Structure 1
Amino acid sequence: MPRMVSLLAVLAALYLLACVALFVFQRSLIYFPQPRAIATPATTLRLPVADAELLVSVRPHEGPNALIYFGGNAEDVSLNLPEFAQAFPDHALYLLHYRSYGGSSGSPSEEAIQRDAVALFDRVHAAHPRTVVVGRSLGSGVAVRLASQRPAARLILITPYNSLQEIAARQFPVFPVRWLLKDKFESWKYASRITVPTLLIAAEHDEVIPRASSERLYTHFAPGVASLKVIPGKGHNSIAESPQYLQWFRAAL
């Protein structure tokens, strides 16, 4: 019996140690900063904020239309510039590099990224009154919250989740994720506040964000505000390979 008690004590101590490690290092499991592949002065906007300097990959264009894009947790958003420039010739493009991504300074967190998103929107909207907000994967949580705070013209969410907390709980089922997670990205909280036309695009075989999570998020929008489309045969990282991806994207604008 004493040996059993000692074993249980060791296992409990190891479990608590694992919980502490998960709490301390959790952001390194969420954010995977990437360098910029396209980094010329003509394609870069510097956006100073209170405690950092953000870099934004841009394609300038005069006129009322603009598109702001928030990417995934391991995405170099600059790689979208050539394709987006061709697909959306009438829109100015602004693709945010999160803190520590693509040369931006600072450390990423949900609240810091959200403040940065608001700062970028306010800057863009002042010059382009019809500003579309787009978020992919991690960025879908940024985009939906921003659209609940600012007058976006349209909202497009690609491989969106109901909440990051749900995804983390699925990946780490033995840990009390609800209590440990700092950045929960609870998109469902903001969906009901959205009043502009919204498109959700999910991948049929998404191995990172289950399609069911996108479907749950969809139910939180007011009736008639959002539509959900599923690209067949594609996964989380291959969704953009489908011709339907940009077709639906363009149609939503």
Structure 2
Amino acid sequence: MPNWGYIALIVLAFYIIASVALYYLQEYFIFKPEKLDKDFQFHYNNQIIEEYNLETRDGAIINGLHFKVKNPKGVVLYLKGNSKSIKGWGKFAVDFTRHGYDVLMLDYRGFGKSTGRRSFKAIKRDLQFVYNRIKDKVDEKYIILYGRSMGSGFAAKLASINNPKMLILDAPYYSLSKVAAKFIPFMPVSLIMRYPIPTYKWLKYVNCPIHIIHGTHDKLIPFKSSVKLSKIRPKLTRLYTIIGGGHKNLNNFESYHKMLGEIINSRVKRLNLSDTSIGVMHSSKKVNA
């Protein structure tokens, strides 16, 4: 007869060891950074760029790029996903500069040329530091926050404590903890996640227009996560659907570029609903012919 108590202790021990390992090693699963040499030269065809290095209060260096246009309508702070560096992500700046907007991109700590010890708190502090530097030169009503995948959560955080013109979320998740739970359903994710990134919590405090773009065939972050997010601040939110879009290919859809152009070039108009059908109830009574 098997000793069930002994077996249970072994299983529990393995469970605890796995939980501790995931707690300390999760950065290797979450972040996929690309390191760049300090003397690496950025180049993009038909783009005017200026590289910047900002030193934080703890001595870290945040490296980024400023894509410039003449007489900009505003500036887009583009927060990228969890992989590579701005060397590759920079190609997406053209989707905004073509509409007359400057674009600022940065690498998180440990990505590209950026340095410093990475932590959830440090990343949030770095992004607010960069936002403040932009705000010193540009009125907030001209600042657009754009968050892509992992960056969508951090963009929501910035929007929740600042007053940008608008917030655009590209393939956002409800929370990173929810995404992790999908892959490790039997682990105590809520306890071990050092980067929970609860987008849904931060959206509750956003007061600017919120635009959410998501592909219906996204296998990493399901489309339904954006549906749930759109219900948090429904009066401020509009959900844009890319039929057939996956997680990494929305830029290859004409509909994406059409939607993006409509979003960043739109002007918020007040609606007069007094002469519409809103509030009109359908009668359930039979009406004589």
Q: TM-score, normalised by structure 2?
A: 0.81
**Structure with more relative contact order (C-alpha pairs < 8 Å, separation 6 or more):** 1
CA distance in 2, matches of 1:128, 1:196: 17
Q: Counterpart in 1 of 2:229?
A: 217
C-alpha contact 1:27 1:109 (8 A) present in aligned 2: no
CA distance in 1, matches of 2:84, 2:172: 15
Tell whether 2:21 aligns with 1:14. no
Q: Would you say how many aligned residue pairs link Structure 1 and Structure 2? A: 252
Matching residue's letter, 1:248: M
Matching residue's letter, 1:100: G
Using the TM superposition, give the Cα deviation of residue 75 of structure 1 relative to its aligned residue in structure 2, in angstroms. 4.0
Match of 1:154 among 161, 166, 170: 166
**Partner of 1:133: helix, strand, or coil?**
strand
Q: Which moved more, 1:105-114 or 1:179-188?
A: 105-114
Tell whether 2:42 aligns with 1:39. yes
Label 1:83 to 1:138 Cα distance change in 2 as closer, same or farther (>3 A). closer
Q: Counterpart in 2 of 1:227?
A: 238
* Ranges in structure 2 where 5+ consecutive residues have no aligned partner: 265-289
Q: Counterpart in 2 of 1:142?
A: 154
Match of 2:79 among 34, 57, 70: 70
CA distance in 1, matches of 2:136, 2:118: 26
1:190-201 pair list within 5 angstroms: 190-201=202-213
**Partner of 2:152: helix, strand, or coil?**
helix
C-alpha contact 1:33 1:74 (8 A) present in aligned 2: yes
CA distance in 2, matches of 1:211, 1:228: 10
Q: Counterpart in 2 of 1:102?
A: 112
Which of the pair has more CA radius of gyration? 2
CA distance in 2, matches of 1:43, 1:235: 32
Higher percent of residues as helix: 1
Label 1:249 to 1:24 Cα distance change in 2 as closer, same or farther (>3 A). same
**Partner of 2:76: helix, strand, or coil?**
strand
Label 1:63 to 1:205 Cα distance change in 2 as closer, same or farther (>3 A). closer
Deviation per CA, 1:63-99: give whole Å up to 9, x if none: 4511101011114334343442364242221011000
1:53-132 pair list within 5 angstroms: 53-61=61-69, 62-63=71-72, 65-85=74-94, 87-89=96-98, 90-129=100-139, 130-132=142-144
Using the TM superposition, give the Cα deviation of residue 38 of structure 1 relative to its aligned residue in structure 2, in angstroms. 6.1
Q: TM-score, normalised by structure 1?
A: 0.92
Q: Counterpart in 2 of 1:237?
A: 248
CA distance in 1, matches of 2:119, 2:231: 27
CA distance in 2, matches of 1:13, 1:149: 42
Label 1:83 to 1:186 Cα distance change in 2 as closer, same or farther (>3 A). closer
RMSD over aligned Cα, in angstroms?
2.0
Matching residue's letter, 2:42: A
